Amino acid sequence: MTQKIVVLGAGFGGLELTTMLSEALGDRIEVTLIDRNDHFVFGFSKLDVMFGRQPPEAVRIPYRHIAKKGVTFRQETVTTIDPVARSVTTSGGAYEADVLVVALGADYDVEATPGLAEGGNEYYSVAGAERLREVIPKFSSGNAIVGVTSTPFKCPPAPSEAALLLHDFLSARGVRDACEISLVMPFGAPVPPSPETSKGLLTAFRERGINWVPNRLVRAIDPERKVAILDDDSEMPFDLFLGIPKHRVPDVVAESGLTEDGWVPVNSLTLETKFPGVYAVGDVTSVGTAKAGVFSEGAARVVAAEIIAGIEHGDQPAGYDGRGFCYIEFGAGRVGSVEVQFLSGQAPTGTFYGASLELAAEKKEFEAKRRASWFGL
């Protein structure tokens, strides 16, 4: 009998998983890939959109390009997940699975930070980044804050990237001297697992006059007084606030019985949840890696290899190692990178590759490779 595999979410995890399954098994399996959107956007493209480096339409990659043997894409919203029965309902119907993979990512809870919606901005959603295209060019003097409101949050280097790219944007417009940029983060260092990366970023902040505010979260925004209130009750005035909103699992996951302490726990080697035949990969889990596309993709590869081994009666793959790397925009067209290994049983460690034009080209290649393998573009 043909195995039915249902993959919820066509982000980094879902796209990599279905691509691997199709390449290895083709028509020998029936894969249904479900996403509420009609297009994918790379997380890092939001930085390009907010600073006007790319128009929004250029970063949307339509799912209609997916043409893979054995894979059917459905643009539907998942409304219930029953992990015991391995069944789901959506805005378009109902699905039963032999293997169910939850790759629904993290949603945002902007309302969890009082005043953020009324008085600030967030750039973590595509809509938020699009709004900022209009807002940022109007800022030409005063205080800008890039502020994290809660942990965990996606792509830990992204707040540093926003501060550095804002510096470039304001410098290019000749208004940098009239502006202060502050970066509020809940860590003692910008990228805690990699002291070298943190050192590189702190040097870049110092050189550019960016004010680094460590070990603090933004608890609330007072829109009337235009101040950010931090978790030690201190206040910072702002004219432009770029926030990283609170993250949470999508409602449908919260209601499914799959979560504990807000996220989906999984076996860190196999990515299986406590429900047999139900896996979870990526930002929706509490697997112990950073929340970033490269880790979602790495976890998806392990699940794909397990499914393939099961069908072909091959050896089970080695377990997930939580290894990945992230590119970091340093501004002036230069990109650095940090390679981190979580899940080795020890504190995560990272290796830093300094900002260069070569790494900027490598990042473009990273995106192009995925456009080609996931969408055939």
Ligand X SMILES: Cc1cc2nc3c(=O)[nH]c(=O)nc-3n(C[C@H](O)[C@H](O)[C@H](O)COP(=O)(O)OP(=O)(O)OC[C@H]3O[C@@H](n4cnc5c(N)ncnc54)[C@H](O)[C@@H]3O)c2cc1C
> Does 105 engage in binding with ligand X (CB under 6 A)?
yes
Name the residue nearer to ligand X (CB basis): 229 or 300: 300
What is the footprint of ligand X within residues 16-55 (CB under 6 A)?
Answer: 34-37, 43-44, 46-47
Q: Which of 232, 273, 300, 235 is nearest to 23 (CA)?
A: 300
Kindly tell me which residue out of 293, 322, 331, 350 binds ligand X, with binding defined by CB under 6 A: 293
Contact criterion met (CB below 8 Å) for 252 and 80: yes
Name the residue nearer to ligand X (CB basis): 228 or 326: 326
Q: In what order do the strands lie in the sheet with 210-213?
A: 121-122, 240-244, 142-148, 179-184, 210-213
- CB proximity list for 253: less than 8 A, separation 6 or greater: 81, 102, 104, 259, 264, 284
> Does 301 engage in binding with ligand X (CB under 6 A)?
no
> Does 74 engage in binding with ligand X (CB under 6 A)?
no
> Does 10 engage in binding with ligand X (CB under 6 A)?
yes
- CB proximity list for 129: less than 8 A, separation 6 or greater: 46, 47, 49, 50, 56, 123
Name the residue nearer to ligand X (CB basis): 97 or 326: 326
Name the residue nearer to ligand X (CB basis): 327 or 342: 327
Peptide bond into 152 cis (omega under 30): yes
Q: How many CB atoms lie within 10 A of CB 318?
A: 9
Residue spans of alpha helices (H) in 173-289? 195-208, 251-254
> Does 148 engage in binding with ligand X (CB under 6 A)?
no
Kindly tell me which residue out of 51, 63, 108, 124 binds ligand X, with binding defined by CB under 6 A: 124
**Shortest gap between Cβ of 24 and ligand X (angstroms)?**
20
d(CA 190, CA 26): 43
**Shortest gap between Cβ of 211 and ligand X (angstroms)?**
21
Q: How many residues does the chain have?
A: 377
> Does 275 engage in binding with ligand X (CB under 6 A)?
no
**Shortest gap between Cβ of 318 and ligand X (angstroms)?**
21
Judged by DSSP in three states, 28 sits in helix
**Shortest gap between Cβ of 44 and ligand X (angstroms)?**
4
Kindly tell me which residue out of 292, 304, 355, 359 binds ligand X, with binding defined by CB under 6 A: 292
CA 352 to chain CA centroid, nearest Å: 20
Kindly tell me which residue out of 282, 298, 331, 350 binds ligand X, with binding defined by CB under 6 A: 282
In the complex, the residues that contact ligand X under the rule CB under 6 A are: 9-14, 34-37, 43-44, 46-47, 77-78, 103-105, 124, 154-155, 158, 250, 252, 282-283, 291-294, 296, 326-327
